[in-house]
């Protein structure tokens, strides 16, 4: 795939439904979310087997509630439609995200 896909509440189930999907739950008002956006694009380009999905929390409140997202940024990892890991830290950095992602991807193989 190689690019970041914008999800809506309607397209979300299909986007995370097969294979590995990394979901970036974000909002314009979340400064760390905005800072991480280019890094998520680079994750997408370097992990072709990973679908990187951006979900705007302000446009998908019910979906975020059903996913039990309580703070931003929150990054979720789905395998075949099931959440298998998440990281949610108010001061999430690109380095911390990479360390978490390499750990959880190792567990998925």
Domain boundaries, the chain: 4-108
Question: 4-108 — its CATH code?
Answer: 3.40.30.10
The structure's pTM equals 0.95
Contacts 24+ apart (CB under 8 A), 71-74: 72/25, 72/26, 72/27, 72/30, 72/32, 72/33, 73/24, 73/25, 73/26, 73/30, 73/32, 73/33, 73/36, 74/25
**Catalytic residue check, 64:** no
Catalytic residue among 4, 21, 22, 30: 30
Catalytic residue among 4, 20, 22, 33: 33
Dihedral of CA atoms 65, 108, 33, 95 in degrees, nearest 10, equals 150
**Catalytic residue check, 33:** yes
Per residue in 22-77, pLDDT (tens digit) is 999 999 999 999 999 999 999 999 998 999 999 999 999 999 999 999 999 999 99
pLDDT for 51 equals 96
């Amino acid at each position: 795939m190689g690019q970041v896909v914008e999800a809506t509440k309607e397209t979300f189930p299909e986007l995370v439904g097969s294979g590995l999907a990394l979901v970036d739950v974000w909002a314009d008002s979340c400064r760390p979310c905005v800072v991480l956006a280019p890094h998520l694009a680079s994750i997408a380009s370097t992990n072709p087997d990973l679908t990187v999905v951006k979900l705007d929390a302000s446009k998908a409140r019910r979906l975020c509630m059903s996913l039990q997202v309580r703070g931003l940024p929150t990054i979720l990892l789905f395998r075949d439609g099931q959440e298998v890991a998440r990281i949610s830290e108010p001061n999430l950095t690109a380095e911390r995200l990479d360390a978490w992602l390499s750990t959880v991807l190792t567990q998925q193989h």
